[in-house]
Amino acid sequence: MNPEDLKYHKEHTWARVSGKKATIGITDYAQKALGDIVYIDLPEVDSNIEFNSEIGEIESTKATSSIISPLTGRIIEVNEDLVESPETINEDPYGKGWIAIVEIDDVAEVNDLMDASEYEKYVEEEKK
Amino acid sequence: MKIAILGAGPGGYVAAIKAAQLGVQVTVIEDTEVGGTCLNKGCIPTKTLLATTELLHKTKNSIEFGIEISGQVTPNLSKIMERKNKVVSTQVKGIRSLFKSWGITLIEGRGMVISPEKIEVQKRDGSTDIVGADRIIIATGSRPAQLPIFPFDGDHILSSDDALTIKSVPKTLIIIGAGVIGCEFAFIFSELGADITMLEIMPRALSTEDPEISETLERELKKKKIKLMTGVKVTGVQGRHDGIHVYLEEGKELVAEKLLVSVGRALNSDGIGVEAVGIEKGPKGEIVVNEKMETNIGGMYAIGDVTGGLLYAHVASREGIIAAKNIIGADQKMDYSVVPATIFTSPEIATVGLKENQAAEKGIKVKTGHFQFRAIGKAHVMGEITGFIKVISDETSDRILGVHIIGPHASDLIHEAALAMKAGLKTRDIAETIHSHPTLSEGMMEAAEDVHGEAIHVPKK
C-alpha cells in the first residue's frame, strides 16, 4: 500500500514533505513496472530541479526510465547508497530506496500533488 | 602493365593484391610499415587493448557470473602492450607474405611522385631509388590532427599514436575530443584505472551519430565514472610541475597527469610531390578524385583517407579494389550508399545508411522501429543488456534506409542490415526471416517488426 503521509506525482514519484524540505523517491507501482533495477543516475547535490522535469534516470533489466521531479527546489542530499545497490529501490521504495532530499522553493506547490487514495485511483485508471 | 602504389595501408595493400590478382606487375612503397595506420596505430591495436580491458572488466565482476576470484586482479601494462604488439606483428607478417605470394615488390622508404610515371624513393639505408610505372595509385592516408595550442610532445600531450605506446597508465587523463577515437580510448584507459575527463566542443559525445545513441553512450560513460563536459572550448594548455593545465573558455581550469588530443585526422597529402605533377587538391588538402578514383592527371589514382571523405579502412580497401580494376580497363564506380561504420566503445556502436535527421533533410518520410537489447534473452545470458537497435525505413516503399545499433556485438550485427540495404530489401524481409534463438540477431528481426508495430517482445503501447 502507498503510505498515507506522502504526496504523489502522476509520473510515479513521491514526496515526504517536512517543513521546507522533502524526501523524494519513486513509487511501489513504478518499481514493480520497471522490474529489477540495475542502475540509477542520481541528480547532483546543489542542482536546481523543477516540478515535472527530469532529474535522473533509472535503468532496469526491462527498461530505461526518467525520474520526474514532483517538486521545484534545490537538491540538498542524494542517496549515495543507491549507486552501489540500486536494487534497494525495489526492496524498499518508500524507505531505504529514497532518492534525494529537496529544499522546496514554494511549499504551496505540494498542494498540486495527489494524496495516497487519489494516486491509487490514478494508477487503477492507468492500468486500464 | 606496371603500377606503383604509394602507401601500404588498408587502401594501398588491398589495391596491390587486387592488381596483382588481375595480372599487373605491382611495386608498393611504404615509409613505415605495411598495414598503415589501421594495423599499426589504429583499428587493430586499439581493439586489442579493448579485448584486454573487456576481459579485465569481466574478471573484476566475475562474481556476477558466479565465479569467485581470490587475490588481486591487476592489469600488467607491459604484458598488455606485448600482446598488442604481437597481434600487430602477426598481421604485418600476414600482409608481407601475401605480397610475396602474389609477387608484389615492397620498397621500404619514403616515396615522392616526380612525374605521372615516376616515384623517387628515399630508402631506409639512405640510398635513392626511382620506381617507374604505367599507372600510380596514391594511398598515403592520414595522421592525428595537431592543433597549434596543444602540440604533441609524446610524453604529456599525447596523440592517439602516442597513447598506444605509453609505459604507464596515468592517474588522471584529460581527453580533448569526444569523437570516435576519444570515446574508444576513454573506455580503455578508464578500465585500466585512469580518472578521465573528456572535453567536447559539440553539445554531445559522438555528435555525428543518432542523438539517442549519444544519449545511451553518455549514460555508459557516467556508469564508468568518466566525466564528460560538452559544449566547452579549450583556450590553452600549459605543462607545469604538477601536470598539464587545461584552460576552458568559460574560465575553468583543469589539471591532469596527461592529455590525449583526439580532434580528428590530418591528411597526408603534403611532401609527396602531388603539387609538382599538378594533382588537384581540395580545401582540406584532400586529393580530388572522381568516382573511378582517378585524379585530374591521367594515369594517376588516389584512394583512402588522403582523398578525404569517409576515413574508414574498409572504404579505403574498396576504393583500392575499384582503382585496381579500373587500371586494367574496367569502368567501375565507388558506391558510398551502403557503408557500415563501427565504434568500439562499451557497448559497441554500429551504423549504416541514413539517420532520421538526414532522411528529413532529404525530404523522405520515414517509419522507425526500435528494439531494446534488454528484451532479448541472449543479452541477459551475456550480462550485456544495454542498448538498442533502431531501423529506419521509407514510409511508402518500406525499404530499409538506415540501421543504428548501440549494444553488444553491434559491429557484427550491422552487416545483416548492410546486406539487406545493398539488396534493396524491405523491413518486412528481415521481419519475416526466421532468426535463430537465442541470439542477439533476434533484435534485428524485432526492430524490423517494430517498424510495423508487430514486435513480439514489446509491451502493448
Greatest mean pLDDT range, A109-118, B236-245, B417-426? B417-426
Whether residue A41 and residue B219 make contact (CB cut-off 8 A), yes or no, is yes
Beta strand pairing call for B227-230 and A37-41: unpaired
Q: Which residues of B touch A63 (CB under 8 A)?
A: 372, 374
8 A C-beta contact, residue B339 and residue B404: no
- Which tens digits make up the pLDDT trace of B191-213? 999 999 999 999 999 999 999 99
In this predicted model, what pLDDT tens digit does every residue of B37-55 receive, in sequence order?
Answer: 999 999 999 999 999 999 9
| Chain A touched by B220 (CB under 8 Å) | no
B222 with A59: Cβ contact below 8 A: no
**Selected residue of B212, B216, B219, B227 to mutate for chain A interface (largest A Cβ count, 10 A):** B219
CATH class of this structure's domain A7-127: mainly beta
Up-side HSE of residue B399: CA atoms within 13 Å toward CB?
Answer: 13
State the average pLDDT over residues B352-358: 95
Residues 6 or more apart whose Cβ sits within 8 Å of residue A5:
A16
Give the minimum alpha-carbon distance from B354 to chain A in angstroms, rounded to a whole number: 25
Helices (H) and strands (E) in chain A, counts: 4, 9
Lowest mean pLDDT among A51-55, A60-64, B395-399, B436-440: A60-64
The fraction of chain A above a pLDDT of 70, given in percent, is: 100
**Is there a contact between B372 and A57 if contact means CB atoms under 8 Å apart?**
no
Alpha-carbon gap: A61 to the closest alpha carbon of chain B (Å): 6
pTM for the model: 0.91
Contact B219 A61 (CB under 8 A): no
Would you list the domain boundaries of chain A? Answer: 7-127
Q: How far apart are CA A64 and CA B84, in angstroms?
A: 36
- Residue B223 has its nearest CB partner, among A39, A63, A64, at A39
Contacts of B332 (CB under 8 A, 6+ apart): B292, B322, B325, B326
> Using a CB-CB distance cutoff of 8 angstroms, which residues of chain A are in contact with residue B372?
63-64
Q: Catalytic one among B57, B314, B415, B437?
A: B437
- B380 chain-A contacts, CB cut-off 8 A: 61
Of A38, A41, A61, which has the smallest distance from its Cβ to B222's Cβ? A41
CB B104 within 8 A of CB B91: no
Q: Is the dihedral of CA B134, B135, B136, B137 positive or negative?
A: negative
Judge whether B380 is closer than 8 Å to chain A, CB to CB: yes
Q: How far is B89 from chain A (nearest CA, A)?
A: 41
* Domains detected in chain B: 2-143+266-327 (3.50.50.60), 157-263 (3.50.50.60), 341-450 (3.30.390.30)
* A41 contact residues in B (CB cutoff 8 A): 219, 222
Written as nine digits, the cell of B112 is: 615522392
Average pLDDT over residues B410-416: 98
User: Residue A1 has what pLDDT?
Assistant: 75
Please give the pLDDT value at position B36.
Answer: 96
By C-alpha distance, the chain B residue nearest A36 is B374
**Is B385 within 8 Å of A38 when comparing Cβ atoms?**
yes
Question: What mean pLDDT comes out for the span B360-389?
Answer: 96
Contact check, Cβ <8 Å, A63/B386: no
pLDDT value for B440: 98
Averaged pLDDT for residues A68-78: 96
pLDDT digits (tens, 9 = 90+) for B415-457: 999 999 999 999 999 999 999 999 999 999 999 999 999 999 9
pLDDT for position B461 = 64
Given this model, what pLDDT does residue A127 score? 79
Question: Which residues, other chains included, contact B136 with Cβ-Cβ below 8 Å and sequence gap of 6+?
Answer: B3, B4, B5, B6, B113, B116, B117, B119, B299, B300, B301
Across the A:B interface, residue pairs with CB atoms under 8 Å apart total 17
How far separated are the first and last CA of chain A, in Å rounded?
Answer: 19
Instruction: Report how far apart, in Å, the C-alpha atoms of B222 and of each of A39, B74, B228 are.
Output: 11, 23, 8
Chain A residues touching chain B at CB-CB below 8 Å = 38-39, 41, 57, 59-64
User: Could you tell me if B386 lies within 8 Å of chain A, comparing CB atoms?
Assistant: yes
Mean per-residue pLDDT of chain B: 96
Residues of chain A found within 8 Å of residue B224, distances taken between Cβ atoms: none
Q: What is the pLDDT of residue B261?
A: 95
Q: State percent of chain B over pLDDT 90.
A: 96
Indicate yes or no: CB of A61 within 8 angstroms of CB of B222: no
| Residue B385 touches chain A, beta carbons under 8 Å | yes
The kind and range of the H/E element at A79 are none
pLDDT grade, residue B94 (50/70/90)? very high
Is residue B215 less than 8 Å (CB to CB) from chain A?
Answer: no
The question of whether B437 is a catalytic residue gets the answer yes
Out of A41, A57, A62, the one facing B374 most closely (by C-beta) is: A62
> What HEC string does chain B produce?
CEEEEECCCCCHHHHHHHHHHCCCEEEEEECCCCCHHHHHHCHHHHHHHHHHHHHHHHHHCHHHHCCCCCCCCCCCHHHHHHHHHHHHHHHHHHHHHHHHHCCCEEEEEEEEEEECCEEEEEECCCCEEEEECCEEEECCCEEECCECCECCCCCCEECHHHHCCCCCCCCEEEEECCCHHHHHHHHHHHHCCCEEEEEECCCCCCCCCCHHHHHHHHHHHHHCCCEEEECCCEEEEEEECCEEEEEECCCCEEEECEEEECCCEEECCCCCCCCCCCCCECCCCCECCCCCCECCCCCEEECHHHHCCCCCHHHHHHHHHHHHHHHCCCCCCCCCCCCCEEECCCCEEEEEECCHHHHHHCCCCEEEEEEEHHHCHHHHHHCCCCCEEEEEEECCCCEEEEEEEEECCHHHHHHHHHHHHHCCCEHHHHHCCCCCCCCCCHHHHHHHHHCCCCCCCCCCC
Picking from A57, A60, A63, the nearest residue to B219 by CB comes out as A57
- The answer to whether B306 and B316 are in contact (CB under 8 A) is no
